[in-house]
Amino acid sequence: MSPNNILSPRQFALAIIAVTSGGAVGTLLRDVLLRLQSDPIPRAVATYTNVPAYGSWTGQIPWVLLVINFIGVYCATTLLRTAIRRRDPNDPTRLLVITGFFGGFTSYSGLFVALAAIWHLSIGGSLFVAAGALGSGIFAGWLGLGRRQHS
């Protein structure tokens, strides 16, 4: 199947609906899960405003977001490798699931907000968490690729 790089107005509208729907559900789920972590924003605000933050930098590690990103990378890689690999990048199902849902579910910017909060407490800790976040993501992608098929 050759990629459909230019969409008709109807296809374009369908693509926007798919991305909006998937993105809304993914963002909502991430928001709900992030609220499980104990009160991260006030601590972060305290850090930014030079109010002494309580606890060590390890208390600022964004565990929930790290798990969200790990799951998102694993699932997206697995789906792109198998179920929707050969579909057009503008296919509504692919846009709904990959661009919309997993795009909205995972976050790169949230990671940097958390890293900045840690940076104020420990530069080494921030670099350690950054390396761990990237490393765990690459590991999730490797797991998602699964066993290499010999063809």
Partner 1 sequence: MLLVTITGALGCVARFLMEYAVRRHHPTQRPWATVAANAIGSGIAGWAAYRLVSFGDQQMRTIILTGFCGGLTTFSSAIAIPALLQREHHWGYAASLVVTTPLLCGGAFVLGMSLAH
In the complex, the residues that contact partner 1 under the rule CB under 8 A are 3, 5-7, 15-16, 19-24, 26-28, 30-32, 34, 41, 44-45, 48-49, 69, 72-73, 75-77, 80-81, 89-90, 95, 98-100, 102-113, 116, 130, 134, 137-138, 140-142, 144-145, 148
Query: Of the two residues 59 and 127, which places its CB atom closer to partner 1 in the complex?
Result: 127
Q: How far is the CB of 57 from partner 1 (least distance, A)?
A: 17
Query: Of the two residues 121 and 130, which places its CB atom closer to partner 1 in the complex?
Result: 130
Q: What string of H, E and C letters represents the secondary structure of 80-145?
A: HHCCCCCCCCCCHHHHHHHHHHHHHHCCCHHHHHHHHHHHCCCHHHHHHHHHHHHHHHHHHHHHHH
Give the DSSP letter of residue 57. G
Q: How far is the CB of 94 from partner 1 (least distance, A)?
A: 11
Reference 56, options 122, 107, 100; nearest CA is 122
Six-digit token string for 115:
């890293």
